[in-house]
Amino acid sequence: MSGTSAPAPRFSRAALDCRLSVNRVNNDMQQMTFMECVKRTWSSAWQAATQMPLLVAGTFALYAALGWFGLAGRPVPVEGVTPSAALVATGNLASILNALIYLWFTLKVSRFVLLGEQATPLMPGAAKPLLRTFIVSVVMTASLVALGLALWFVLRPQHQGGSAFLTLVVIAIWMFVATRLSLLYPAVAIGGRIALGAAWRDTRGHFWSMFGVVVVTALPIPVCGTAIMIALGRAGITPEIAQRPGWLTALAVGQSVGTVLFALVSTTALAWLYRRYANALPAPEAR
């Protein structure tokens, strides 16, 4: 009706504070140093965990439960013993569901950092951002496989016995491409389309900065996980022992802790890098 206006949307005090903080960050991100970006990544990861505790705890519980079935579905090969097809199928299904949960969790963390969105809605944008995140992940995985096969057929005849060298070349090239396109994840998380060219342009000249921030912030988590697994092996915990129900539970819980922590930190790092470098890609909504 003429002369009337729709009532302004009402937000909680916590949501408004978060959105105001996000807007303040927009104004000074370009002047941030490398270590400031690292510190703010850790700070945002902590804020996401404390302001969305049920979402983080629920993700951990689901990932641990499905992880148990995933580990159980891949028993240690024993001569003369073949795991049942049902067990293997259950393990594969659990792994696929865990991959989807991981993508969904990173989507929610990205929207928290970039939009100030809290735990709800659980499935924002009628699942379109999640679908696009899934497509980006499939494209990245397929590109790794295609690149590996291409280099293998092209370079293998000139490097007989150099499979280790070819593997390193494939990994190095793929890491470069994946880093240059990594801003696609926060872009689609906030509702943007899959714009490969825009992501490539925005990250031109910033590879080492982006790679360094993610490595410094997130690398300690898998390093600690690897150290724990090595310590367990030296303590006499063999793969056969680890197949016992109690050890499967411990491993599933530990795997879930590491995965959730890694997802929190690596996703917040990408979100801060997105604020710093995204130009052709869509900017977060101003609230």
Contact 218, 106 (CB under 8 A): no
Asked, for residue 17, whether it belongs to a domain, the answer is: no
The gap from C-alpha 192 to its chain's centroid, in whole angstroms, comes to 18
Q: Which of 181, 57, 132, 22 is nearest to 124 (CA)?
A: 132
pLDDT at 94 over 80: yes
Asked, for residue 64, whether it belongs to a domain, the answer is: yes
Contact 247, 162 (CB under 8 A): no
Tokens 């990173």: give the residue: 106
Asked, for residue 19, whether it belongs to a domain, the answer is: no
What contacts 241, CB < 8 A, 6 or more positions away?
Answer: 247
The residue segments making up the domain with residue 115 are: 33-277
Distance from C-alpha of 101 to C-alpha of 78, rounded to nearest angstrom:
32
Per-residue tokens: 173? 């090239």
What local confidence, expressed as pLDDT, does residue 20 receive? 41
Q: Which of 83, 65, 81 is nearest to 73 (CA)?
A: 83
Asked, for residue 72, whether it belongs to a domain, the answer is: yes
pLDDT at 56 over 70: yes
What local confidence, expressed as pLDDT, does residue 260 receive? 95
For the chain, give the percent of residues with pLDDT over 90.
49
Work out the mean pLDDT of the chain and round it to a whole number. Answer: 83
Asked, for residue 50, whether it belongs to a domain, the answer is: yes
Could you give the number of structural domains in the chain?
A: 1
Asked, for residue 244, whether it belongs to a domain, the answer is: yes
Of 38-47, 104-113, 143-152, 199-208, least confident by mean pLDDT is 143-152
Of 4-8, 92-96, 111-115, least confident by mean pLDDT is 4-8
Asked, for residue 124, whether it belongs to a domain, the answer is: yes
What contacts 3, CB < 8 A, 6 or more positions away?
Answer: none
**Mean pLDDT along residues 182-195:** 93
Measured CA angle at 264 (ends 140, 13), to 5 deg? 125
**238-254 pLDDT tens trace:** 877 878 888 889 999 99
Distance from C-alpha of 4 to C-alpha of 227, rounded to nearest angstrom:
64
Decide: helix, strand or coil at residue 128: helix
Distance from C-alpha of 230 to C-alpha of 237, rounded to nearest angstrom:
10
What local confidence, expressed as pLDDT, does residue 174 receive? 86
Distance from C-alpha of 273 to C-alpha of 105, rounded to nearest angstrom:
18
Q: Residue 218, Cβ neighbours under 10 Å: how many?
A: 22
Contact 141, 114 (CB under 8 A): no
State the pTM of this model.
0.82
